[in-house]
Amino acid sequence: MKKIPEVHQQLNQVGNQNPTMKGMGCTFTGFWYYSGQFYFIHVGDSRLYRLRGKYIAQLTRDHSLQKMLNNASIPANHIGNCFGGGVSAFFYDFENLHDRVLPEDTFLLCSDGLNGELEDEVMEELLLSGSAAGGLVAKANELGGRDNISCLVVRVG
């Protein structure tokens, strides 16, 4: 299994070796259960949300320049941190959620293409109605679908 810095270096190496991939990078949010504990790792502006009861909450913080510098005049798609991207320095958020996960919680992992089209309240409504990932993607496409859209819904039993 590769370590996180190795993934970053490998993406940069591919970009350096192939001019058509120069500056190639990606954002990432992962969520897993291991030895009785829930964890997430986060790089960039993909997101992890938790729906508990009737309310959705964003658990990750965006690594966009707009959010990192608290400057609304910077376009939201200007990323301040990602895997690869041709930069040597990067960082990641890693967190153990052991006291923040309850039975019946629902987690949503998504690219910025989803949350860029759907307000939190709309995602909340769709998840409360039992919508799976396909329903969220369809709604985001219906509202414009201007960016790549991916998501995963995880319900804790």
For residue range 92-135, list pLDDT tens digits in order: 999 999 888 999 999 999 999 999 999 999 999 999 999 899 99
Letter for the amino acid at 118? L
Helix 133-142 crosses helix 120-128 at what angle (to 10 degrees)?
Answer: 140
**Confidence (pLDDT) at 1:** 59
Q: What is the pTM of this model?
A: 0.91
The tally of domains found in the chain comes to: 1
Q: Is 144 left (phi over 0), alpha (psi -120 to 50) or beta?
A: left
Q: What is the pLDDT of residues 44-94, one digit of tens each?
A: 999 999 999 999 999 999 999 999 999 999 998 899 999 999 998 999 999
Give the number of C-alpha atoms closer than 13 A to the C-alpha of residue 10, restricted to the C-beta side: 6
The domain spanning residue 91 has which CATH number?
Answer: 3.60.40.10
d(CA 118, CA 125): 11
Q: Which amino acid would we find at residue 24?
A: M
Residue-wise pLDDT tens digits, 12-51: 999 999 999 999 999 999 999 999 999 999 999 999 999 9
> Which residues form the domain of 119?
4-155
Nearest-angstrom CA–CA distance, 142 and 61: 26
CB 18 within 8 A of CB 29: no
Nearest-angstrom CA–CA distance, 10 and 15: 9
